[in-house]
């Protein structure tokens, strides 16, 4: 038994507890006997929208607001040395706007008055429902695209060729019908070309590049198509490090998101804002790109499906643009999410600044987008 315990002790000593603490997906802090924060993890940094250094030496009341309920709960945990869980709370604090749902208060040992506080928010649960589907969408589209492109292209070429032959032998009045067949065949052909983009199996051409240059080119290309009636403002972080990825694919991704924003105005004058920033606490995906518009927002019935193929609110839309976006983001091990409402839609893309080790689940546990 002693030998087994010795081996177990050796293995546990190899664990980096600082790393383990910072990998905890729920915001967590440790309070001393005066309810002053002496330890906080990366999830707390993101949750409270401030740095860990600024959280240090603040009282619990300064972070969540004065709440006598928690004072009594914390005191009881210290006295009884038992964990207390309070469910279905509904409040926000001075440093955050996310609604806290559950809170766990855990004693750190009989010889210590320190307590561990673990926050569980609704957004921590809801974000997984909203963000994870795009990864599944990307895989499903890629799997079916190659087969569809191959099966459709050959008979489509036959239909177009037959229409050309018919034009030579029919009356002028009937040429309208053959021209319609040719036009619709060409339209379907463009859809097939889009399918093939999903099905292309090739390695990404990784390099470090300035994302602002790519954004500028993406904006110019969209303005050339839709005209300069749209007001596009930029708020770039000049200190942003380079993105690590395939610049051509990232540009295609931005073009599709911008196209979605431009088209949302349906001919009306609108405003689009493109913003970049570096997010402290995101270890793998600190580069944040926000693209927002003041359009009518995504219809409620489509909000859970917009990254799925063939889902579109536009009568002439193919429903493939945002599916392609989801594939490119997924290929880069990045994250994309959005918020939408009557005042507009905001897409957020998180991208890597260095190669992400295989098997690492990015920073999915630490993020959520809450407001326009």
Q: Are 235 and 275 contacting, i.e. CB atoms less than 8 angstroms apart?
A: yes
DSSP string computed for 278-298? E-TT-SS--EEEEEEE-SS--
The secondary element (H helix, E strand) that includes residue 75 is: helix 68-80
Topology (CATH) of 204-366: Heat Shock Protein 90 (3.30.565)
How is the chain split into domains, by residue range?
A: 2-122, 143-199, 204-366
Which element (helix H / strand E) includes 138? Answer: helix 133-167
Furthest-apart CA atoms within the chain: distance in Å:
98
Residue 32 burial (C-beta neighbours within 10 Å; 0-12, 13-18, 19+)? middle
Is the Cβ–Cβ distance between 131 and 337 less than 8 Å?
yes
Q: Which pLDDT tens digit goes with each residue over 183-228?
A: 888 888 777 776 665 555 456 788 999 999 999 999 998 888 877 6
pTM of the model: 0.53
- On whether the CB atoms of residues 332 and 250 are closer than 8 A, the answer is yes
pLDDT digits (tens, 9 = 90+) for 87-137: 766 555 555 555 566 788 999 877 788 999 988 776 554 554 455 555 555
Domain covering 2-122 in this structure, CATH number: 3.30.450.20
- The model's pLDDT over 13-60, given as tens digits with 9 standing for 90+, comes to 556 677 778 777 788 999 999 999 999 988 888 777 777 888 888 888
Q: How many residues would you count in the chain? A: 372
Q: How many angstroms separate the Cα of 245 from the Cα of each of 194, 205, 214, 222?
A: 21, 7, 12, 22
Indicate whether 369 pLDDT > 60. Answer: no
**Half-sphere exposure (CA, 13 Å, Cβ side) for 194?**
21
C-alpha of 37 from chain center: 30
């Amino acid at each position: 038994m002693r030998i087994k315990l010795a081996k177990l002790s050796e293995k546990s000593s190899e664990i980096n507890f600082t790393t383990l603490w910072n990998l905890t997906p729920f915001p967590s802090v440790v309070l001393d006997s005066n309810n002053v924060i002496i330890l906080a993890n990366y999830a707390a940094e993101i949750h409270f929208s401030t740095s860990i250094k600024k959280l240090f030496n603040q009282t619990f009341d300064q972070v969540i607001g004065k709440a006598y309920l928690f004072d009594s709960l914390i005191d009881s945990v210290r006295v009884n040395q038992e964990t207390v869980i309070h469910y279905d709370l509904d409040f926000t604090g001075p440093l955050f706007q996310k609604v806290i749902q559950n809170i766990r208060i855990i004693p750190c040992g009989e010889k210590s008055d320190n307590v561990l506080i673990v926050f569980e928010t609704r957004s921590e649960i809801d974000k997984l429902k909203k963000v994870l589907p795009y990864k599944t969408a990307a895989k499903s589209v890629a799997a079916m695209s190659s087969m569809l492109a191959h099966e459709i292209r050959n008979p489509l070429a036959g239909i177009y060729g037959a229409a050309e032959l018919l034009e030579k032998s029919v009356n002028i009045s009937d040429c309208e019908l053959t021209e319609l067949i040719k036009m619709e065949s060409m339209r379907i052909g463009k859809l097939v070309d889009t399918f093939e983009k999903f099905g292309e199996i090739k390695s990404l051409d990784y390099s470090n590049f300035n994302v602002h240059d790519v954004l500028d080119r993406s904006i110019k290309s969209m303005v050339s198509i839709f005209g300069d009636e749209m007001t596009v403002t930029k708020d770039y972080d000049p200190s942003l490090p380079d993105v690590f990825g395939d610049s051509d694919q990232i540009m295609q991704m931005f073009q599709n998101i911008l196209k979605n924003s431009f088209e949302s105005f349906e001919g009306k004058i609108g405003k689009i804002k493109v913003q970049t920033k570096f997010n402290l606490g995101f270890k793998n995906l600190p580069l944040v790109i926000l693209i927002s518009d003041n359009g009518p927002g995504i219809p409620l019935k489509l909000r859970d499906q917009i990254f799925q193929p063939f889902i579109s609110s536009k009568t002439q839309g193919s429903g493939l643009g945002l599916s392609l976006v989801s594939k490119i983001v997924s290929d880069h091990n990045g994250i994309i999410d959005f918020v939408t409402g009557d005042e507009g839609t905001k897409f957020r893309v998180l991208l890597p600044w260095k190669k992400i080790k295989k098997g690492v689940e990015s920073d999915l546990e630490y993020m959520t987008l809450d407001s326009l």
